[in-house]
Amino acid sequence: MSIARLLFLIAVSCVPLSFASAQNPFENPKNLTVLPKDISPERLRDIMRGFTFATGERCSYCHVRVEDEKGAHMDFESDDKETKAVTREMMKMVGSINQNIRSLDRGADHHFTRVMCTTCHRGQANPMLIEQVMDEQIADGGTAAAKAKYNELKDKYYGKGTFDFSGFTMAEYANSLLEENKFDAALDMAMFSREIAPGDSYTHTMVGNVYMKEKKYADAIKAYEAALAISPDEGSLKRQIDVAKKAMAGQ
């Protein structure tokens, strides 16, 4: 979803649906427990827009939508939704983080980073790393499901900063599977990382590392040589090739 579309949705979805009783939902807000009670309508609107941009959700994610004699409209005062309570706690957490960051003495030339909702959420209500998504998919449907989900997310989110779609990250994920001795899954995901980023020497190296664990030394050598062709000055690759050749000779 484009940013323009997202901002249009927040503008539309936060306005009561009953035109007969329509009014600015940001005027005279009630039941504010974290935000200042004298907040201006403009500032409140900007904050709500920021929530929508950060999470990819509309007003109804936190606020109750009701239908009564006034028609269909949002009950902004209601605390019935758990997501609203969670959001309040998250707002407190962000405020605390920013306050603590400011207390660090980093010198006069240091520019402090301001943490915002989008710092972590990046367009997701439940912010996850691509590796966590892959874990879930492999647990439910194996590496085929994981790769399909990766491609689905890439089509939807690429260029938005929501997930890291680099070949390096997927190669590192394959390495985590290798450390858990999940050799088949590690090899499949390492090959997938190589498919994603064939010009990244590390993706080839990771394929070689899995083959080494499986004692498939000839395949490991091919993978390492492919990595070396991309990064000819990488001395560690030459050493890995030598180790693989010695291991193959000793079989």
pLDDT of residue 33: 94
- Decide if pLDDT at 105 tops 80: no
pLDDT of residue 68: 84
- Decide if pLDDT at 20 tops 60: no
| Neighbour tally for 186: CB within 10 Å | 25
- pLDDT level of residue 4 (50, 70, 90 thresholds): very low
The listed range with the strongest mean pLDDT (9-13, 159-163, 210-214) is: 210-214
- pLDDT level of residue 23 (50, 70, 90 thresholds): low
- Decide if pLDDT at 211 tops 80: yes
Distance CA 123, CA 222 (A): 40
Give the least confident one: 59-63, 147-151, 183-187. Answer: 59-63
Q: Are 163 and 152 in contact (CB under 8 A)?
A: no
- Decide if pLDDT at 22 tops 50: no
Helices within the chain (DSSP H only): 3-13, 41-55, 82-102, 117-121, 130-157, 167-179, 183-196, 201-213, 217-230, 235-249
Instruction: Say how far residue 135 (Cα) sits from the centre of its chain.
Output: 14
Q: Are 208 and 223 in contact (CB under 8 A)?
A: yes
| Neighbour tally for 13: CB within 10 Å | 19
Tens digit of each residue's pLDDT (9 = 90 or more) over 230-247: 999 999 999 999 999 999
Distance CA 198, CA 194 (A): 5
71: alpha, beta or left? (left if phi > 0; alpha if psi -120 to 50): left
Average pLDDT, the chain: 89
- pLDDT level of residue 8 (50, 70, 90 thresholds): very low
Distance CA 12, CA 207 (A): 50
pLDDT of residue 193: 98
Distance CA 152, CA 176 (A): 22
- Decide if pLDDT at 16 tops 50: no
Q: Are 53 and 3 in contact (CB under 8 A)?
A: yes
DSSP-based three-state secondary structure for 130: helix
Give me the mean pLDDT over the 52-67 stretch.
92
Residue 125: phi, psi to the nearest 5? -70, -40
Give me the mean pLDDT over the 161-172 stretch.
96
Give me the mean pLDDT over the 87-108 stretch.
89
Distance CA 22, CA 19 (A): 5
Q: DSSP secondary-structure letter at 68? A: E
- pLDDT level of residue 93 (50, 70, 90 thresholds): very high
- What the chain holds in terms of domains, given with CATH numbers, is 1-127 (no CATH), 130-249 (1.25.40.10)
Q: 68-105 burial by CB neighbour count: b if 16+ within 10 A, else e? A: eeeeebbebeeeebeebeebbeebeebeeeeeeeeeee
Give me the mean pLDDT over the 145-161 stretch.
96
- Decide if pLDDT at 24 tops 80: no
Q: Could you tell me the pTM of the whole model?
A: 0.77
pLDDT of residue 215: 97
Tens digit of each residue's pLDDT (9 = 90 or more) over 212-232: 999 999 999 999 999 999 999
- pLDDT level of residue 21 (50, 70, 90 thresholds): very low
| Neighbour tally for 167: CB within 10 Å | 20
Beta bridge partners, 74, equal 65
